[in-house]
Amino acid sequence: MPVLGLVGCSASGKSTLCAELPAAAVVAADDFYLPRDACPRFDLAADIRWPAGVPDAFQARGNADLNHPDSVDWVACADAVDAAVEKIVDAGGGGVVVVEGLLLLGAGAERVRDRCAQLVLLDDVYDDPAKQEVLWRRKWTRSGHLGKQSYKARGVTADEYEAYWGYVSARWKEHGLDRVEAAGRPINRVDAHADDRSAQVERILRALEPAPS
């Protein structure tokens, strides 16, 4: 039973790609965040260049840094991957178990990566401001993630969210893009901005097929 690791910046389309793959089960690292008081901290006022002070929605959110790999219980996440594989094998089923998350390349996530036959990186074109704007606007207006209203619905302006995105994207580079070489697994890159990813999905599936004996 192959396990596929799917990693990419926030709003890069991980959940959408999961839906395009013949996944027998999906394990989302977002489901294994530690309690907020056990997460690493950052300084809302000092670490982000807000246009005019910290917005109320972010004051309410607090200073737990959910963009740091130490904010995830990777032991529990790995156990969930193992349980998903075992359940499907016991049932005689096939397909792929997908584990997806923003921080899968981070230090501390090794036990989850070790279970992956392959990693897929959703390439968000980090150094292209126009494509980054597509992502932050998608995230700013997205509702339902982690059970929350969108930041736009919570009164955060576009300028305020763009300022916050500067912090998010920098942490993604630190804990994601800059750690590609340290991943220790084959990595397939997929264009996060592609309108039609069918050929890319086929390439991913072919890479998961066992080598001929």
What's the CA gap between 119 and 187, in Å, rounded? 5
- CA 142 from chain center: how many Å? 15
The larger pLDDT score, comparing residue 2 to residue 132, is at 132
Six-digit token string for 204: 């991913």
Q: What integer pLDDT is reported at residue 144 of this predicted model?
A: 64
- Burial (CB < 10 A; 0-12, 13-18, 19+), residue 91, is exposed
Contact at 8 Å (CB) between 57 and 154?
Answer: yes
The answer to whether residue 36 scores a pLDDT higher than 60 is yes
pLDDT digits (tens, 9 = 90+) for 142-199: 876 556 789 999 999 999 999 999 999 999 999 999 999 888 777 888 898 888 878 8
> What is the average per-residue pLDDT within 33-44?
96
Q: What integer pLDDT is reported at residue 210 of this predicted model?
A: 64
CA-based nearest residue to 74, from 37, 120, 8, 27: 27
DSSP assignment string, 152-210 = TTTT--HHHHHHHHHHHHHHHHHHTGGGSGGG-S-EEEEETT-S--HHHHHHHHHHHSP
- pTM score: 0.89
The answer to whether residue 63 scores a pLDDT higher than 60 is yes
3-state SS class at 109: coil
pLDDT digits (tens, 9 = 90+) for 13-34: 898 888 888 878 999 999 999 9
Residue 95 pLDDT level (bands cut at 50, 70, 90) = confident
> What is the average per-residue pLDDT within 84-106?
91
Contact at 8 Å (CB) between 187 and 121?
Answer: yes
What's the CA gap between 163 and 4, in Å, rounded? 33
pLDDT digits (tens, 9 = 90+) for 116-148: 988 999 999 999 999 999 999 999 998 765 567
Six-digit token string for 34: 């530690």
